[in-house]
């Protein structure tokens, strides 16, 4: 069960004490969609994944925890601009700011996660749905950087390859998604992974850039 409570928290960066929403149990949740987005409460609680300091603008899953890199990033002008970018809703700015902090820490896998979370917020918001493509492109960029460091967003290389195929398909880059999918299909993967890749192959052929659930691959 997931509970939400409000707790008093001291900001790691500036020491400001404020009320923060805290999700009691944030289960990672089984991936529901081909892009690893989970369903249920995990899906709908995305707006509460990051806590925000109203004084200095620091954002983090737990605002009482941080690093020197977090402190210097928050003090940076580019961070402040992102935190207050009026083009985006607060949740997107929060994820992009968290991504900047993670990148400053050398965690490109976490920065890639922040970018895909921003895309998911766009997917859910009719007013910002057209920006989802931009954030999926940024996710792919961060994943490239992550790979060079041996970091994997989904936890392993196979998962990241599957995610890359889906990201390319979702942004309509079918000419790039097709060879990557074919390359993965030539590998010695288990039945489940192959079934997902064969489903992706069909979607790419159909030039289908919409959201699809993993279970559809097994229908």
- Looking at the Cβ atoms of 52 and 131, the one nearer to Zn ion is 52
Can residue 101 be called a binding residue for Zn ion (CB under 5 A)?
no
Quote the distance between the C-alpha of residue 218 and its chain's center. Answer: 25
As measured in angstroms, the least distance from the Cβ of 100 to Zn ion is 15
DSSP 4: E
Shorter beta-carbon distance to Zn ion: residue 63 or 197: 63
State the minimum distance, in angstroms, from the CB of residue 15 to Zn ion.
7
Choose which of 9, 11, 98, 171 interacts with Zn ion (CB under 5 A): 11
Q: How far lies 121's CA from each of 21, 52, 71, in Å?
A: 18, 17, 26
Asked if 123 contacts 167 with a C-beta cutoff of 8 angstroms, the reply is no
For residue 58, the minimal CB distance to Zn ion (Å) is 5
Alpha-carbon distance of 187 to 40, in angstroms, equals 33
Choice between 80 and 133, CB closer to Zn ion: 80
50 touches Zn ion by CB under 5 A: no
Tell me the C-alpha distance between 40 and 60, whole Å. Answer: 23
Binding mask 12-41 for Zn ion (x = CB under 5 A): -xx-x-------------------------
Say how many residues make up the chain. 219
């Amino acid at each position: 069960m997931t509970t939400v409570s409000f707790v008093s928290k001291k900001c790691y960066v500036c020491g400001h004490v404020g009320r923060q929403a805290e999700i009691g149990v944030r289960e990672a949740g089984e991936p529901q969609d081909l892009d690893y987005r989970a369903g249920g409460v995990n899906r709908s609680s995305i707006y509460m994944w990051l806590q925000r300091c109203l004084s200095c603008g620091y954002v983090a899953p737990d605002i009482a925890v941080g690093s020197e890199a977090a402190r210097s990033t928050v003090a940076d002008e580019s961070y402040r601009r992102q935190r207050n970018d009026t083009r985006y809703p607060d949740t997107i700015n929060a994820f992009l700011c968290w991504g900047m902090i993670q990148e400053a820490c050398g965690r490109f896998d976490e920065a890639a996660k922040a970018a895909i979370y921003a895309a998911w917020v766009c997917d859910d918001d009719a007013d910002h749905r057209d920006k989802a493509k931009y954030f999926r492109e940024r996710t792919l960029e961060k994943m490239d950087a992550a790979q060079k460091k041996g970091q994997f967003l989904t936890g392993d290389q196979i998962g990241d390859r599957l995610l890359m195929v889906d990201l390319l398909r979702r942004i309509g880059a079918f000419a790039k998604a097709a060879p990557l999918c074919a390359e993965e299909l030539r590998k010695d993967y288990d039945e489940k992974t192959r079934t997902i890749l064969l489903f992706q192959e069909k979607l790419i052929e159909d030039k289908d850039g919409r959201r699809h659930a993993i279970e559809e691959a097994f229908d």
